Amino acid sequence: MKEKFEILFSPFTIKSLVLKNRLVMPPMGTSFSTSFGGVTPRFIRYHCERAAGGVGINLVEFAFVEAWGRLSSHMPAIYDDSHIPGLKSLVEAVHQAGGKIGIQIGHAGRRARSSINGGRRPWAPSPIPELGGEIPYEMNQSQIDYLQECFNKAAQRAKKAGFDAVELHAAHGYLIHQFLSPLSNNRSDRYGGSLENRSRFALETLARIREGVGDEFPIFCRISGDEFVEGGSSLAEAKGFAKLLEEGGADVIDVSAGVLESAQKTVPPMAVEHGCNVGLTEEIKRHTNLPVICVGRIKTLEEAELILQKKSADLIAMGRALIADPELPRKTRAGGNVRPCIGCNQGCIDRLYNGLAITCLVNARAGREFQIPSLGKAPVSKKIAVIGGGPAGLEFARVASERGHKVTLYEKERELGGRFRIASLPPKRGEINEFVQYLIRSIRSLGVKTEMGVSVKPEDLVKGEDFDEVVVAAGGVPIPFPMAETPSNVSFAEDVLQKKAPLGAKIVVIGGGMVGCETAEWIAESGRQVTLLEQLPEIAGDMEARTRKLMLSRLDSNRVEILCNGVVERVEKDRVIYRQGGLRFEIGGVDHIVLALGYKANDFNPQIPSAKIHRIGDCLRPRKAIEAVHEGFLLGLEI
Ligand SMILES: Cc1cc2nc3c(=O)[nH]c(=O)nc-3n(C[C@H](O)[C@H](O)[C@H](O)COP(=O)(O)O)c2cc1C
């Protein structure tokens, strides 16, 4: 049979390295290492699954080359020979799983934190702190020499550990990029000023590494194709830098984007288009003879193949898509049901930046592969009723039925997906529905019985059917505004999004959390005048940082009026009275009032003596979808 992904699944040679295909898993921090940076069984198993899933090469996340060069704990270390055996065990396991593996080496520079680095003040090209960071120490020549040697030794250790390649981290605002960017480098010596001078730290480091690892060992260089910050290193500079890296002995240019201040460019959220860096990669490819890697919201093999067909890149990196489904390459080729990354960033980068190990909203097994090698079969097949077809109920039904239980799912609406389905309705949130559809496909193929449009009463569950266990996943219900009589022009956000409420021209949305913001945007897009009233000092505090940043700018461009620190006192038919800074104000002439005040648990509580009752998701306590999905998964595994 003709290979559908002809270019993608053709081999690719980089010096001594022959890749079986052109698919790369890019470096992604996991926090799976020990607090001393040691490799753990969890880390190994996580990488092995992705290698076995069919990716051409795994690039291990940012490993720090010097003891003080990390930005958070639990990053992998490569600054001492004592790290070689652990890294070697990772390499051997990935090779055994049929994959190739490289490692990214880096130094955080000014992004290192004295709090986790024994009180040592960070080093950087210039004493310019990053946003919210410490004032770094300006490196002198001997410190420059010292760190370049650290990079060199680290690359040699990578080679000794058996890695197939090393990647120099020259992107994202870490040390090498700090030298490159005029925003973090104002030196007047040979390392500052012109592009050539600002590139010198990288090029000298590269030269040392090349000398250390020899001519045949592949060296990838990751760059930010554009810093996307005014006054920073632009695409024009990145093209020049790529050329200099080529002349300096690099073998592959890995084109990423952004720095801390433009983090939405580095790990682009759902609102960003697929293949967002294709343009940057094409431009850089035109300026170098080296193979280039394209990364950024490439979610399917079809997209990857298209980028290769158009010769926009030579290799394709898929990051979060492989956290979401490690078997994506193999499954896609076999026509399987791929679990899609939805770009929510909640389980991966958001957790990492909050000091936690990564997981994944759609894949609760991510990071638990070592503890849960497979779902396995339940010792006894039980008859189970699930009340509620939202993310918790659907994920539970998927896992439990895969383990051999007979599951019947009851849903009061005519459609599955619960609040997650509604969450996919606002602008730029449609991808959420891809996961809902994945769950629906899964339960259908596993033979889960679904009863739709059924508002279950406890007695219904004992009639006829003899369930061993009942799982209540009935979700949450929106919190009303406390008032004796609700005017007819007051609606819940979820009803507005489902077009169940007629809106006039002037709307007030009360509650500026994620739901309120998304609803305000959705309404404003239809040309209506929207005021968003929030009692806290800021809106969208419950949103993932990158997603939030883009949301705030869209609210601004849709001219949504935002009133913070505003506590609503009274809601009347055509006005909202609120207090702000101790004063009373009112918004008059209001046509419709939308409530987004959060959710309370649905208290549906069947008492069935013959069955064991469980509660999962928002009906236990309203939280985010990630908790609902993970609770569904874990109960499905346990039952
Ligand atoms: C949890 C997480 C950690 C990351 N850590 C790194 C890292 O250590 N080094 C790096 O160069 N990029 C890192 N990235 C960026 C990814 O390599 C990749 O460029 C980005 O996720 C966009 O690709 P994707 O849309 O396919 O996920 C990280 C991304 C995520 C989601």
Pocket of ligand 1 (CB under 6 A): 26-29, 61-62, 104, 169, 171-172, 222, 256, 266-267, 295-298, 318-321, 348-349, 352, 358
HEC-encoded secondary structure of 604-615: CCCCCCCCEEEE
Q: Are 229 and 177 in contact (CB under 8 A)?
A: no
Tell me which residue has its CA closest to atom 23 in ligand 1. Answer: 296
Torsion of Cα atoms, 20 then 22 then 28 then 33, to 10° = 10
CA distance linking residue 267 with residue 91, whole number of Å: 26
Write the burial class of residue 134 (CB in 10 Å: 0-12 exposed, 13-18 middle, 19+ buried): middle
User: pLDDT digits over 32-73, tens only?
Assistant: 999 999 999 999 999 999 999 999 999 999 999 999 999 999
Please give the distance, rounded to the nearest whole angstrom, from the Cα atom of residue 25 to the centre of ligand 1.
9
Ligand 1 atom with least separation from CA of 295: 23
Q: Which atom of ligand 1 is nearest to 345's Cα? A: 31
Q: What is the DSSP string of 190-250?
A: TTSSSHHHHHHHHHHHHHHHHHHH-TTS-EEEEEES---STTS--HHHHHHHHHHHHHTT-
Residue type, 66: E
Q: Which atom of ligand 1 has the smallest separation from the CA of 348?
A: 1
Write the pLDDT tens digit of every residue in 531-588: 999 999 999 999 999 999 999 999 999 999 999 999 999 998 899 999 999 999 999 9
Q: How far apart are CA 588 and CA 576, in angstroms?
A: 7
| Per-residue confidence (pLDDT) for residue 488, from 0 to 100 | 87
Q: Considering Cα of 89, then 94, then 98, then 104, what sign does the dihedral take?
A: negative
Instruction: State the catalytic residues.
Output: 174
Closest ligand 1 atom to residue 59 Cα is 17
The band of 611, judged by pLDDT with boundaries at 50, 70 and 90, is confident
- Name the residue with tokens 């461009």: 557
pLDDT at 464: 61
DSSP string for residues in 3-60: -SSTTTTS-EEETTEEESSSEEE-------S-TT----HHHHHHHHHHHHTT-SEEEE
The reported pTM is: 0.96
Ligand 1 centroid distance, CA of 140 (Å): 31
pLDDT for 449-497, tens place per residue? 999 998 887 777 766 678 999 999 999 999 999 888 888 899 999 999 9
* Residue 348 alpha carbon to ligand 1 centre in Å: 9
Calpha distance 437→449 (Å, rounded): 16
Residue among 179, 159, 139 at smallest CA distance from 91:
159
Separation of CA 272 and ligand 1 centre (Å): 15
CA-based torsion, 190, 196, 201, 204: positive or negative = negative
Angle subtended by helix axes 84-96 and 41-52, to nearest 10: 30
Q: How far is the CA of 350 from the centre of ligand 1 (A)?
A: 12
Protein residue closest via CA to atom 31 of ligand 1: 349
Which residues have CB under 8 Å from 354's CB, separation 6+? none
